[in-house]
Amino acid sequence: MTAVQFEYGYAAILSGSLLYRLYGLLDPLGYHVGRILPQRVDFRPYTLFDERFFGPNFVAVHRSRPDLAALLGGE
């Protein structure tokens, strides 16, 4: 799979789907994770500050597709 989009909001609290767990699952599988912003995707490593439980959506792009990550990241 080249890319995966997922929502991350208040429901994540009830399901126990913390963002750090999603990063921990996707990173070893070769995915670069980023927060979807209005004009681009903000690909960056996980930080505790990202556990906000209020929007936004995220996308994970496989590292075999740096062209897609660059296109989405606006770089």
Mean pLDDT, the chain, integer: 89
What does the alpha-carbon distance between residue 55 and residue 27 come to, in Å, rounded to a whole number?
21
**Segments forming the whole domain that contains residue 49:** 3-73
Would residue 10 be called left, alpha or beta, if left means φ above 0 and alpha means ψ between -120 and 50 degrees? alpha
The gap from C-alpha 64 to its chain's centroid, in whole angstroms, comes to 16
Higher-pLDDT residue of 61 and 55 is 61
pLDDT of residue 75: 56
Give pLDDT tens digits for 28-54.
999 999 999 999 999 999 999 888 877
Give every CB contact of residue 35 below 8 A, 6+ residues apart in sequence.
41, 42, 50, 56, 57, 58
pTM for this predicted structure: 0.85
Answer yes or no: is pLDDT of 27 > 90: yes
